[in-house]
Amino acid sequence: MKNNQPNLEHLTRIQILVLMGVTAIIFLLIAQIWQRAGAIAPIPVIFNQQAIITGILLGLGIIGASLTLSKVWTPYRLNAEQYLTFVITPLAIPDLIWVGLLPGLSEELLFRGVMIPAFGYDYIALTISSVLFGVLHLSDTQNWYYVIWAIIIGFIFGYSAYATDNLLIPITAHIVVNFISSLIWKLTNQSS
């Protein structure tokens, strides 16, 4: 019998972009429905220079920590390389803008903007949203090290929103992390 399932290890550029777009739309819809059905006041997005700078610095700090961690923790490095190979290899460099924007906006609106207030706007809510964010990054059963990292990053993003009551900080940080880490990986591995 012929298997009609797509081989997820060989997705095309268009398939990756469509999956990212569809996932972003689904997350935004879930956030909107949950917010309205639960009468949840989401964490606001307050545009100001300080929030943008803080988000950029937070993102750069996370990238630095990830690069350092990948040098000293081999299982994490291998999991991160597997994930980046799967997602980034088929993409062109201009596509990396979408790698930053789509998850950065949709995941932050859902996991931090709506989830944290929905679960009580406290450290328990931060923990729940962080664990769920980490599980989102489970691409296969061997990917637990990357999931642990995503939980930690989810908590950092969540804490930045919780402590400042401004969702712009984790949105900016998430966009910076995804875009710059993808760009670094793409430029480093483009020739191979």
- Would you write out the chain's pLDDT as a tens digit for each of its 192 residues? 444 434 456 899 999 999 999 999 999 999 999 999 999 999 999 999 999 999 999 999 999 999 999 999 999 999 889 888 989 999 999 999 999 999 999 999 999 999 999 999 999 999 999 999 999 988 777 778 889 999 999 999 999 999 999 999 999 999 999 999 999 999 998 765
Question: How many CB atoms neighbour CB 13 within 10 A?
Answer: 12
pTM over the 0.85 mark: yes
Alpha-carbon distances of 158 from 27, 128, 142, rounded to whole Å: 17, 10, 26
Query: Which residues fall within 8 angstroms of residue 38, CB to CB, at 6 or more apart?
Result: 118
Cβ within 8 Å of residue 163, ≥6 positions away: none
